[in-house]
């Protein structure tokens, strides 16, 4: 589950970041080049993390997603040319944050000790 999350989110972030270099604003959002690079780097980290670090990636995407959602809901005007996103982007960040933390917690539960075994007994 966490591996699928990391791979899927990673590819989506890479695609969105790259499209913002070559295409007019994607979904009516024009990212600054540095912002597009952040999406690409975060996406590449997700693709890389899908192999062995997917759960940690899901946790960080969850935390950052929720943080960006809160900032987006609180700051609705342009701040230093950095934050000027439509409200629906904050909803996307919120959903991504919840999904990331849910994936993190679900992966933690699936890593729990198998039923009937104690932590010190051989499985």
CA 68, CA 43: separation in Å to the nearest integer?
16
pLDDT tens for each residue of 41-76: 999 999 999 999 999 999 999 999 999 899 888 877
Q: Residue 11 to residues 3, 47, 117: CA-CA distances in angstroms?
A: 12, 7, 38
CA 18, CA 20: separation in Å to the nearest integer?
5
Structure letter (DSSP) for residue 26:
B
Average of pLDDT values for 100-106? Answer: 93
Let me know: does 77 contact 84? Beta carbons within 8 Å: yes
């Amino acid at each position: 589950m966490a591996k699928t999350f990391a791979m899927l989110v990673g590819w989506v972030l890479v695609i969105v970041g790259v499209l913002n270099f070559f295409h007019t604003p994607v979904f009516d959002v024009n990212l600054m080049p540095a912002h597009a690079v952040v999406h690409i780097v975060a996406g590449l980290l997700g693709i890389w993390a899908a192999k062995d670090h997917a759960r940690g990636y899901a946790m960080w995407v969850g935390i950052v997603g929720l943080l960006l959602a809160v900032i987006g809901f609180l700051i609705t005007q342009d701040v230093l040319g950095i934050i000027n996103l439509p409200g629906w982007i904050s909803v996307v960040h919120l959903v991504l944050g919840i999904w990331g933390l849910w994936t993190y917690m679900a992966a933690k539960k699936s890593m729990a000790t198998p039923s009937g075994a104690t932590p010190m007994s051989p499985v």
